[in-house]
Structure 1
Amino acid sequence: MSSHQRTQGYVPGAWGSSLPPAAPSFAAFAPDGAGAGFAGVGARAALDAARTAAAAPGARPEYATSFAPPEDPRAREARAQEEALAATRAAAARTEAERIERENSGGPPRLRTVVLPHATLPRFLAIASANSARNLETCGLLLGRENTRTRYVVETLLIPKQHATSDTCTMDEEEGVLGFTEGRGLITLGWIHTHPSQSCFMSSVDLHTHASFQRMLPESFAVVCAPKSDPNFGIFRLTDPPGLQTVLKCTAKQAFHPHPDVPIYTDADRGHVQMREAPLEIVDLR
């Protein structure tokens, strides 16, 4: 454990290191030669039966087509926004229900699984390499949707317009990001950023940034990539309790500052975040 991690209240996760096996893929199989006898035995009888039915009194042909007039783009956009708003409201309602249940039970939140595609880290590091060479941070958002009632899946790595220093990265033009996520009906599941010349840890600035994400969605997680460090990446979340509450109540004015000597954040990749083979879309708004 590095001195940075100790200073900021990092505590290793208590989960085991093994991940569940990836879900098997399934394929449909048909017997050999299925359908090969369509024009053979029985075909004439079927054709005669069809002609008899067509000639019956009152018989009317039915037509089906997959073609339709093109949809008005404005209507499509309006529907997408309505669906995104409905998804956001549903997620907020579930979060509030879980908060109430947690307060009543006195226990920690039950987190849904979040699937993070394996390609996320190498592709993000490739995108950030130009900034990393100049000792500048790079940040991105990890967007996805609720795949089932018990699982979220990251589908998109979004690189917003941004400005950075060697130890900070700030997103610009947040309206464009909001418009993108709402237009696609996506949820912000996590965020990712580099430490181009530092070790892999969550700074006090990172902790405050992440608190706003985790307050909205308990499953939110933060990925830190430190290409010059070993380990060179970490997937983290605030402990809840006491980390989330501690950071949300913090009133320190300076950017980088210590927090009380309690477990503030911990690993998420040994808990509810699971790296799997899954498709990943890259969108760069810069």
Structure 2
Amino acid sequence: MKQEKGTFYVTTLIIPKQESTSNSVSTHPSQSCFMSSIDLHTQYSYQVMVPEAFAIVVAPTDNSRGYGIFRVSEPNGMSLLKECQEKGSQFHSHEETVDGGPIYERCTHVYKNSNLRFEIFDLR
């Protein structure tokens, strides 16, 4: 990521490691576009290091939207995930945030520009 004149440009896409077979994957490709508990914990770890980080969730069978751009809400979602004892290795539910707000939010300030170059690190 780089910043130029107050705008951040994404320069790297990281595809996290995941377990899969020829017709399944350990996340949720056959469901709607949302952040699972595993997605939330993965994003939390990136956001702790780089607060501007956001997640791109792909849901190929979601006809309403094939992908979403999200981030863990601050401060409540970040605080809740910091205290979570389950961590990110298994699917699990989370308590509500202190103010009852969402754990994560859609990034309405992120725009796609296909003219920009970036690196892809595929850890699968």
TM-score interval, normalised by the smaller of the two chains: 0.7 to 0.9
Matched residue, 1:222: 55
CA-CA distance at 1:146 after TM superposition = 1.7
**What CA distance in whole angstroms lies between the structure 2 residues aligned with 1:241 and 1:264?**
9
For 1:167-186, what aligned pairs fall within 5 Å after superposition?
Answer: 167-168=25-26
Matched, 1:245 2:101: no
**What CA distance in whole angstroms lies between the structure 2 residues aligned with 1:284 and 1:240?**
27
**What CA distance in whole angstroms lies between the structure 1 residues aligned with 2:121 and 2:104?**
29
- Aligned-partner SS, 1:276: coil
Query: Alpha carbons of 1:164 and 1:218: their partners in 2 closer, same or farther (altered >3 Å)?
Result: same
Matched, 1:266 2:105: yes
CA-CA distance at 1:282 after TM superposition = 5.2
Runs of 4 or more, structure 1, over 6 Å off, are none
Equivalent position amino acid for 2:45 in 1: S
CA-CA distance at 1:158 after TM superposition = 5.3
Higher relative contact order (CA closer than 8 Å, sequence separation 6+): 2
**What CA distance in whole angstroms lies between the structure 2 residues aligned with 1:277 and 1:232?**
17
For 1:20-169, what aligned pairs fall within 5 Å after superposition?
Answer: 145-148=1-4, 150-157=6-13, 162-165=17-20, 166-168=24-26
Rg bigger for which structure? 1
- Aligned-partner SS, 1:274: coil
- Structure ranking higher in strand proportion: 2
CA-CA distance at 1:155 after TM superposition = 2.8
- Aligned-partner SS, 2:111: strand
CA contact (8 A) 1:237 1:267 kept: yes
1:202 to 35, 39, 58: 35
CA contact (8 A) 2:2 2:10 kept: no
**What CA distance in whole angstroms lies between the structure 2 residues aligned with 1:279 and 1:207?**
27
Task: Output the TM-score relative to the length of structure 1.
Answer: 0.35
Query: Alpha carbons of 1:227 and 1:163: their partners in 2 closer, same or farther (altered >3 Å)?
Result: closer
Give the aligned CA root-mean-square deviation in angstroms. 2.6
CA contact (8 A) 2:43 2:55 kept: yes
Task: Output the TM-score relative to the length of structure 2.
Answer: 0.75
CA-CA distance at 1:147 after TM superposition = 3.2
Number of residue pairs the alignment of both structures matches = 114
Query: Which consecutive unaligned segments of at least 5 residues does structure 2 have?
Result: none
**What CA distance in whole angstroms lies between the structure 2 residues aligned with 1:168 and 1:149?**
40
Equivalent position amino acid for 2:77 in 1: G
